[in-house]
Homo-oligomer: A and B are copies of this chain.
Amino acid sequence: MEYEEVVTTRRSLHEYSDEEVTEETIEEIVRQATFAPSSFNLQPWEFLVVQDDDRLATLAEVANGQEHIEEASATVVVLGDLDPSRHAEPVFEDWLQKGYIPDEETKGYLVDTVDGMAEMPETERRVWTNRSTALAAQQFMTAAWNQGVATLPMEGFDDEALVKAFEIDDSEYEPVMLIAVGYPADGADELAAERKYRRPVDEVVHYETFEPAGETSLDGDATGDASAPADD
């Protein structure tokens, strides 16, 4: 599909068909998702794919009972690595081999720099890994849609219950979001529903100085294309 069609037609979907999304398809979606950039190419993302009915029920339970988690073919727990340095060694070895850096000394300096990042306070590491991992998560959702696979991103879950139920060491990894994955149900109502409001472009773009629009009304600032409504 053309890029613009993918991003402007993608919608968050709650109604799925019974057709299974195969592991091959999920892995192709992840492959494309991980072309996202990350600081120093550190790639602090992990994708826990839950397909088993009992485990999906557990996941729904820790996510406020959201039933589409169980109805989807799979729900993916997108995890962010809280340790920026975990993959520094192969990443910088790759830079060295491909000539991005001149020598072992430079590699050592970069490894040290990233070891320093790993010493950031926990809050900064949380912010960093959430931000980094979200870049790949967005590309996961659009890559899926390009394969005909619908997604539903979810932030509403009990972190502590989730890491406990799935035996995740939360001193090392943080659940960033859940993404339900499935083929759209035939005639899913949501595909026909009018798209939701998007804040107009001239409200979110600022030149040179930042003067936020503050509270706005639905049709206050909307002009032309800028007000094209979109999906949630």
Contact = CB atoms under 8 A, between A and B. Distances in A.
Interface of A: 1-8, 10, 12, 23, 26-27, 30-32, 34-41, 43, 45-52, 55, 77, 79, 86-87, 89-91, 93-95, 97-100, 123, 126-128, 130-139, 141-143, 146, 153, 155-156, 166-168, 172-173, 176-177, 193-194, 196-199, 201-202, 204-210, 212, 214-218, 220, 225-226, 228-232
Contacts of A208: 48-52, 55
Given A48-B209, A49-B207, 20 more contacts: A1-B2, A3-B3, A3-B143, A30-B201, A34-B230, A36-B138, A41-B196, A43-B198, A48-B208, A51-B208, A86-B214, A90-B197, A90-B199, A90-B220, A91-B197, A94-B218, A131-B134, A134-B138, A135-B137, A138-B139
Contact of A127 (B23, B94, B126, B232): B126
B95 A196 contact: yes
Contacts of A214: 86
B89 A215 contact: yes
Nearest to A23: B207
Contacts of A143: 3-4, 7
Nearest to A43: B199
